[in-house]
Amino acid sequence: MFTLGEMLGNFYSSERESKSELRRQDRQQPAHLCRLICSKQFIKLSDMEKKDDNNHHQKDEKRTGNAKRGDPVEPLDVKVPVIFVFGGPGSGKGTQCEKIVQKYGFTHICPGDLLRAEAQSGSDRGEEMNEIMKKGELVPLDILLQLLKEAIKKHLDKAKGFLIDGYPRNVEQGDRFEAEVCKSTNLIYFEVKDETMHARLLKRGLTSGRADDNEETIVKRIKTFHVESEHVLDKYRGIVHKVSAEDDPDKVFASLTPFFDTITKPK
């Protein structure tokens, strides 16, 4: 048996794996939730599966509360900063998010945490996610976007800003977030050399117990990040704020404070 924490430990698994390889691995260990976040691929259904899917579509809509496919989705009108927190594995995103929350009162939203909580919740949607995983299929991006939208809406009245940690992984995820969830105001890019990320992850692996903190997987995760990062940074180049994350966490945060002082300043 694998814990859900171990599933999400494969968060940065390579999206370059073939579909057949993904199916084989999915039968061996339930890592489907994590693959959603770093993959644009969806397993193609056979004609029989498509027919069955259509027969149960109405039932699924009732269970998940989804709008019908093709219906317009209204994004939220968010008046505070919504910031994508971007960087490779081991760049220190989570650590800096904690510091930003403490000093500026932002709301930290981690997609992996949302997926884990929903799968464990016992809700209809959580059961649907688990059934999808059992069949060796990927959890659709639609579900993650629903969870992100609900998390933002929940804190909308009191939030001073939102940090969307480790999102988007690719341009499509960014496009759909802005069309269906809300507009982003900034993207913070924690820039770190590959060798620094590599060393940090190896060190973390000594105590983390995470299955993906090993030499082979670390190399793949860093490579996967670079495959998509250039496209994401190009798309958001007008709102990107680059930060060197080579130093210790306190120094990195000190370099961030002028930026946050500016965007949180009363207008």
Distance CA 13, CA 212 (A): 8
The reply to whether omega before 168 is within 30° of 0 (cis) is: yes
CATH 3.40.50.300, applies to 4-263: yes
pLDDT score, position 71:
61
- Average pLDDT taken over every residue of the chain: 80
The answer to whether the pTM exceeds 0.95 is: no
pLDDT score, position 63:
45
Mean pLDDT for the stretch of residues 259-265:
96
Token readout for 215 is 């030499």
pLDDT score, position 14:
38
pLDDT in tens, 197-233: 999 999 888 877 666 678 888 999 999 999 989 999 9
Distance CA 6, CA 212 (A): 9
Distance CA 56, CA 121 (A): 23
Residue 237 predicted with pLDDT over 50: yes
Q: Where are the beta strands (DSSP E) in 98-159?
A: 107-109
Measured in degrees and rounded to the nearest 5, phi and psi for residue 182 equal: -170, 170
pLDDT score, position 211:
65
Distance CA 120, CA 140 (A): 17
Residue 251 predicted with pLDDT over 50: yes
Distance CA 146, CA 179 (A): 12
Q: Is 173 in contact with 141 (CB distance < 8 Å)? A: yes
pLDDT score, position 59:
45
pLDDT in tens, 131-169: 987 887 877 999 999 999 999 999 999 999 999 999 999
Q: What percent of the chain has pLDDT over 70?
A: 72
Distance CA 185, CA 73 (A): 20
Pairing type for strands 240-244 and 82-87 reads unpaired
pLDDT in tens, 178-199: 999 999 999 999 999 999 999 9
Q: Which residue has the higher pLDDT, 148 or 10?
A: 148
Res. 123 pLDDT band, cuts 50 70 90:
very high
Q: Is 106 in contact with 82 (CB distance < 8 Å)? A: no
